[in-house]
Amino acid sequence: MPTKYVIYYRVSTKKQGESGLGLKAQQAYLYHFIKRQAVVQEFTEVQSGGDFETRLVLQQALDLCLKGGYTLAIAKIDRLSRKTEDALHIYNLLDGRLFSCDIPNLDKFTLTLFMAIADRERELISIRTKQALDAKREEVGEWRNSTFSDAARKKGQERILQKARINPNNRRATELIVLYKDKGFTLQVIAEKLNQNGFKTAQGKLFHRTTVQRLWKRYKRKA
């Protein structure tokens, strides 16, 4: 029996939901992988994340999935939740009937890894942002009671965050490489696993043994 999908979108603000900002991108991702005739219903929630208990539209989508045996489909895993425990709860609730465009071949292991990597990325970006802002204040002779305008501070933070996101493929792949190396996997096996899970190099190509080796050596030099 062909898989039937219930699609769940989440946008952070009412303006995004009305204008299509963010929503259109999510739709484009999902309908690239899923045929329209396989979609039972779509749900759109306007909310900036939050706990599972407060996501009423998400709960409606889950109820429909449970009643009909459908698969819940999302564009990116962070549309579902930014909390590992919530994501795993939903995965278990659906008996694994969860599809996310950014995690091909999704299972409990890869879901846990991706959520953990996302948590670490947010933590590191926050640290780098704070350090960079503190350094900038020292450079211009301003300390924590600085007179930076809110607009200037926001612009500086956005610039720092943008730089921190450079080559996200390499950062996320390196996290997995380190985990797989700890498990004793060979470079060739690691390359195959990265490709199976939809990872691409910074140039958008498949991983090979030499690519994995290069990222591993770079990690060891920084460690």
- What pLDDT, in 10s, does the model give residues 162-208? 443 345 667 778 888 888 888 888 999 999 888 887 788 877 888 99
Cβ-based neighbours of 103, under 8 Å, separated by 6 or more: 77, 110, 111, 114, 197, 198
Write phi, then psi, for 158 (nearest 5 degrees): -65, -40
Residues recorded for the chain:
223
118: confidence class by pLDDT, cuts 50, 70, 90: confident
DSSP H or E segment with residue 42: strand 39-46
Q: What is the mean pLDDT of residues 24-43?
A: 94
Residue 139's pLDDT is 58
pLDDT (tens digit, 9 = 90+) per residue, 60-111?
Answer: 999 999 999 999 999 998 898 888 888 999 999 999 999 999 888 899 999 9
Q: What is the pTM of this model?
A: 0.58
Write phi, then psi, for 46 (nearest 5 degrees): -105, 100
Residue 18's pLDDT is 52
* Diameter of the chain measured on Cα atoms: 67
Rounded to whole angstroms, the Cα distance separating 163 from 113 reads 24
More confident call, 193 vs 44: 44
More confident call, 223 vs 217: 217
pLDDT (tens digit, 9 = 90+) per residue, 123-170?
Answer: 777 787 777 777 766 655 554 455 556 666 666 656 544 443 345 667
Q: Where are the alpha helices (DSSP H) in 20-146?
A: 23-33, 56-68, 77-80, 84-93, 108-139
- Using alpha carbons, list the distances in angstroms from residue 166 to 51, 59, 74, 89, 172: 29, 35, 24, 31, 11
Scanning the structure block, which residue is given the tokens 């809110």?
A: 150
